[in-house]
Structure formats: structure tokens, C-alpha cells
Amino acid sequence: MARVKTNPVIEQLRGAVGDLVFKRYGDEVVVARKPDLSGRPPTEAQAAQREQFRQAALYGKTLS
């Protein structure tokens, strides 16, 4: 993980860009690689949320 010195461009950057993730911890911006979650099963809460989103997407498709 790399710490980035305050730069006006980087300061406002959050989220993923390519294979990098920009995170904020307090006043610092930290750059890390995207985590590799392959082979790791989703938690029960994640599976429930994905199912709820799937149901919402199906509902939305029936309206159009």
C-alpha cells in the first residue's frame, strides 16, 4: 500500500481506477491494488443483498 502526498488531483480521487483502489484514511489518501476475492464465497449478508438486487432488476425489466 502506498501513501500519496497531497495533490489537488489525487486529493479528490476515491474508488477504483483500473487495478488500483484509492482510499481515504482521515486526511491521507492511500493507493492499493484491488483485492482478489475470487475463490472466496460471499457472506450470508452479501448473498442476501445480491438476491434483493436481482429481484429489483427483474421487477424493473417487467415495467419496461
Instruction: Assess contact for 30 and 24: CB atoms under 8 A.
Output: yes
pLDDT (tens digit, 9 = 90+) per residue, 25-39?
887 888 899 989 899
Strand order of the sheet with strand 2-4? 2-4, 28-33, 20-25, 15-17
pLDDT tens per residue across all 64 residues of the chain: 666 566 677 677 788 888 999 888 887 888 899 989 899 999 999 999 999 999 999 999 999 7
Domains identified in the chain, total number: 1
State the residue range of the domain holding 29.
Answer: 1-34
DSSP state of 49: H
DSSP state of 27: T
Q: How far apart are the first and last CA of the chain?
A: 45
The answer to whether position 51 is within a domain reads no
Q: Which residues are registered as beta bridge partners of 36?
A: none
pLDDT value of position 30: 84
DSSP state of 40: -
Taking the whole predicted model, whether its pTM rises above 0.75 is answered as no
The answer to whether position 55 is within a domain reads no
